[in-house]
Structure 1
Amino acid sequence: MPGSSDGYSVGQYAADLLALLDGLDISQVVVCGQSLGGYIIFELFRRAPTRIRAAILCSTKAAADSAAAKRDRDVMAALAQRDGARAVAEKLVPKLLSRATLEQQPQVVKEVRAMIERAPVAGILGALRALRDRPDSTPLLGQIRVPVLVIAGDDDQIAPAAGMQEMARAIPGARFALITGAGHVAPLEQPLPLSGALGDFLTALS
């Protein structure tokens, strides 16, 4: 990958999180991962499954990138390196947000665009590399033995709801919540329905 940054990987993200938990003397947690965060949760299940009390997987996938998806990551990395974060935002925002959000929530569109534009190019390159090179977590799904909530946006172009529902079925006892009017950024697009799904799940744990 052009300009790839050593040190960025799903494994390193997971190791950093475990080090933080150790530093805070926290033995077990409920983890919630959005998109890349979901891939980090799968890595936590590989490395330290007993540290996870429950998991929430939002807008993510178990499968590794296909060859075509890997090429797309490299193309995006080249764009970031050549033209900067603003060009990445221009390309990504229409894919990240639902059609309803793009048409009816200009403030959310502006916020997501600004978040991407603020990101340093080195960070974008590193995250793209971590996404591209993540392992396939599909074989892990049937081994999960803690409560799991899978949350999908009904208009997510990146992690389509049908695939996420299939992933939920593969995890023993997992719940599935579909957020209407959301794309890949449901926490910003539809915060109230998403918070309701989270609240119901967390209440059931207590």
Structure 2
Amino acid sequence: MDGVQLYTRSAGEGLPVVLLHAFPLSSAMWLAQREGLAAVCKVITPDLRGFGGSVLGDDEPSVDVMADDVVRLLDHESVDRAVVGGLSMGGYVTMALCRRHPDRVRGVILASTKATADPEAVRVNRERIAAAVLDAGPAILLEEVLPGLVGRTTAQRRAMVFGRVRGLVQSAPPAAVAWAQRAMAARPDSLDTLRGLEVPALVIAGEEDELIPLATAEAMVDAVPDGRLAVIEKAGHLSAVEQPEAFNRAVAGFTAELAGGSPPHG
């Protein structure tokens, strides 16, 4: 496979768990996961192409290309099979990876994401935002994307968390933003991929997520043969950043189950 070599940050050892970041952030969003989960697994957090420390390359926009990048990273790290998970855009890439490389996946984590393709109106809006970012920089992201990324509790009571998310959005490279929007707009429906999963799946939903309603998460759990749902209270779309302890507990329980241990109670 051609493509780009992803910049990655890793922590811990044991069962490999790959976490793929949301749009338009970078692997910086997983700081609390690298710190909090390193005791129970090897956390691998790449920057998807164009974001953070990874170059964009010259491939046509596609979540399939992004998934192949992640598999190339697994090869580079000598990881045969990993738990692969992602939040929002990272979830789309995870589902593409499950479709294209099912033999590399030991378990799946899908947080604040959806399996259905974009309706026409959403695709048109993604193209509008892509064009605006290339033309005028990140202002439109701060106006239109940032408010939906966190829940009301974070917006009202957690100014430092909100400020951190704002900083990550503001530093997103315009070319990567446009490329990723176009890749997401072109992605296929993945419900059949979920129905065909032969590994366990953890679906994580933020209680206050206004972009991905709880019913969407429940439909994904229903689609997979072996699924379970974790709802993160007082969190919106970026549950891993807004309520990292609760997010980490859900992931740690799931990885313990996969590693053959019993999941912690609570």
The structure with more helix, counted as a fraction of residues: 1
Q: Structure 1 residue 40 and structure 2 residue 93: aligned?
A: yes
Q: Distance in 1 between matches of 2:214 and 2:153?
A: 16
Q: Percent identity?
A: 39
- 1:42-191 to 2 correspondences below 5 Å: 42-191=95-244
Deviation at 1:20, TM superposition (A): 1.6
Deviation at 1:6, TM superposition (A): 4.4
Regions of 4+ moved over 6 Å: none
Q: Distance in 2 between matches of 1:6 and 1:17?
A: 15
Q: Distance in 2 between matches of 1:149 and 1:42?
A: 13
Deviation at 1:8, TM superposition (A): 3.0
Does the aligned pair in 1 maintain the 2:114–2:212 contact within 8 Å? yes
> How many aligned positions are there?
202
- 1:22-33 to 2 correspondences below 5 Å: 22-33=75-86
Corresponding residue SS for 2:83: strand
Corresponding residue SS for 1:64: coil
Does the aligned pair in 1 maintain the 2:154–2:242 contact within 8 Å? yes
Q: Distance in 1 between matches of 2:217 and 2:107?
A: 17
Q: Partner residue of 1:204?
A: 257
- RMSD between aligned alpha carbons? 1.3
TM-score by length of 1: 0.93
Q: Distance in 2 between matches of 1:183 and 1:203?
A: 26
Deviation at 1:43, TM superposition (A): 1.1
Does the aligned pair in 1 maintain the 2:59–2:65 contact within 8 Å? no
Deviation at 1:32, TM superposition (A): 1.4
Q: Distance in 1 between matches of 2:70 and 2:59?
A: 18
CA-to-aligned-CA distance 1:157-186 (integer Å, 9 cap, x gap):
222221111111111120100011111100
Greater RCO, 1 or 2 (C-alpha within 8 Å, sep 6+)? 1
Deviation at 1:156, TM superposition (A): 1.1
Deviation at 1:86, TM superposition (A): 3.1
TM-score by length of 2: 0.73
| Structure 1 gap ranges (5+) | none
